[in-house]
Structure 1
Amino acid sequence: MPKKELGPPCGSKCRLKCSERITQEEREHIFDEYWQMGDLTRQRDFISKCITVIKPKYQYKVHNSNRGPKHAFSFEINDCKRRICKFFFKNTLSINNRPIATVIAKKNERGFVEEEKRGKHGKQNKLSSDTIQRIRDHIDSIPRIESHYLRQQTTCEYIDGGKNLTDLYTDYQKDCMDSGVEPAKIHTYRKVFNEEYNISFYVPKKDQCELCTIFKTLQMIKLWSKTITSLLVMTFRQCCLSLKATFLHYKCKLNVCNFTITELSNDYCDYFVWSEVEALRRANEIATCVLKYLTKRATEVNDNNLQIVFYSDNCCGQQKNQFMFCMYVYTITVLKIKSITHKYLITGHTQNENDSVHSVIEKAVKKCLRSGPIYTPDQYVAIIRTARKKGNAYKVKEMCHSDFIDIKNLTEACGGGFSKNTQGETFEKHEGSDQVNIYYKTSYTDADFKEIQFYKLFNRSSRTRPNTNLQNYQLKPLYQSRLQLSERKKKDLKSSLDNNVIPQSYALSYYNNILH
């Protein structure tokens, strides 16, 4: 609603000459006092006091006319009533004809205005606490995931699947009918969903930042890689098995994790895939995938001139941490790699070539779902291998729990504490030699790298750090066996098997091994 403002007075042609009877200052004072009442009943009483019925000496009425009596308007100033026209009256109070007509209609024979009866009839339909709680229980039963790129900035959760709020309300109605309970109206369901929960139906694919308008005016510079330099982008992604049964929207599904490394100059992509029973999605798992890629890449060169440049987002729990940098130090020490540079894309501009890879795979998955559901992770692997129709096919590495390395143990063996300087700044570049030097900068606008000197890794000795020779260090496995699923997820997967939503043949070949 727009703010109430004092209207203009009547013109010089007014028969009552209202502007001469009441000054502008007096009008402003009346306007302020009227709206400061803050009570509808008091405002109506004030309008009623300002209106009087006119009884003309002579009156001529048209036959069968319903025209009511005439009214005069006035303001009382210093115990003196000053008559004014209706236009002047309405503009001074900043009202229209409706409040005046209401007061006239509600005024009784004794001159009192009837009280406001809205909301006092006692027939309001009040929802019981059980009805509201049933709506909450239904919303809580929907599996949700957090935002991967924005979880440090927002607590919003996302519902996986193609449903909207109307679909959820339809499922809620069916649930109430099965239980013999009267469902609430959709506007009540929507109110609880929007006001008590921070849930969205889609994950934003592109982020924005305040530098976007600046970048649009700049000339883009293309980076060309040398023969001994490998420019790569890395991205982590999580999906779940896709089934078509409606009730499965409220059941937990088996998650499948994948980590992608794309070489920008060679049209090559390594795709690491594992399910949640094989490993989690933390720094150890991501660093293991990068280590396997670097190991393979180092075997393809004959000299020690390989320079690696990584681009990624700013996820601290996965690739922007001391464990990843310790793995880089280890890699430079034991492999034929001269340097590793890790650059973090500016927030709001983390889109990269891996997004195109994921888009191609998502289209292939949607096409596959037209012919039937996806029951097991190996079906995803088959889709990924054949998703790309032009260029090099994606190289898929199926990761088992025994493939993952305990990078955190390696960090402890190196002594740790080198991923941040005394001001808590993180590093962006690592170079290896007999004495490892770590170079870093916290902004792309900085001209030079700052340096942190790391301890010698070849038979070094220090009172404050362990004596470790990284060339002879034996990497330790991260897991000894498969991981256990949560009890709720086990229950939901068993329910899908018992209802034959997942065929029994898959139970014998895959699910019996992970549900026990």
Structure 2
Amino acid sequence: MEQQRNIIRMVQDLKANSVREITEANHLSPKRFPMEDLRSLTSLESDLRSCPETRQKEETDSGSEEDEMALKDEEFCPVQIRSQRTPKMGKPCGPTCGKKCTEKIPHVRRKEIFDAYQDMSHSDKWAFVFHSVTQSLKNRLTTGGPSRRKKTFQYHLNNRLRQPQDVCKTCYLTTFGYHPKNDSMIVSVTGNTSSAVPPPDRRGRHPPANKIDLSPIHKHIESFSPTVSHCKCEHAESRRYLSSNVTVMMMYKDFKGKSAKACSYETYRKAIRDMNIGFRKLHAEECKECLECDIHVKTEHL
């Protein structure tokens, strides 16, 4: 009632100069607003919520709002082919899709599939695609002339009840974060039809073109005779040391003068680090006997 009075006062202030019917704010009729107190208002709300038509409308409205929010998120996060580093779930097929993918696999279920797919390893992703894509010989000719296409692919995704549903290619690829026209992954996985398992990962079969042989660098570093500390410390046996008057730049220049092999300073420095060789004077790794001798020498000088 107080809110109704405030609204009437605002309308009266805005339209003070216009010709209209003025309603007295302090004398509101109960027929216009039959709620006399908070108890009757609560009773009315409970009656409305218990109505089956109201519950059905709320469920429909919540589902439509969720779909609208999902479409907005997908529009602001489109999937890119190469420039994108972090994959994102793309926009599904439209309402004109004959398979009705958005009705079979709603946005919430697509997000669950996307998150689970991104947490898989590379081999697990290939196995998942291998078992969710089936292929068969084409049944009809869709072009006027000869066609190079000999097979037809069927794509399947599981709904919330773990039942496989037939979806289109666009919905299948965008659910996993791929571009709707980038099916190279599917071609690679389904290329070998003679086996019941996906093909092995063929990455890393050849060494990179910029890889160099580090054996000459290791041999040159060993020519400076790194020695093991005599202190019986925690990692004295695994770490070796060079003289304090030797630097990495000095060793690198000597290597460039004696060897014709191309090598950068950073590569040479990393080779020394990988061999666990140090240059600094021992402080924390000195044993108890060395510390006692050092204290004894300082005492004699005093």
Instruction: Give the helix-richer structure, 1 or 2.
Output: 2
TM-score (norm 1): 0.27
Q: TM-score, normalised by structure 2?
A: 0.44
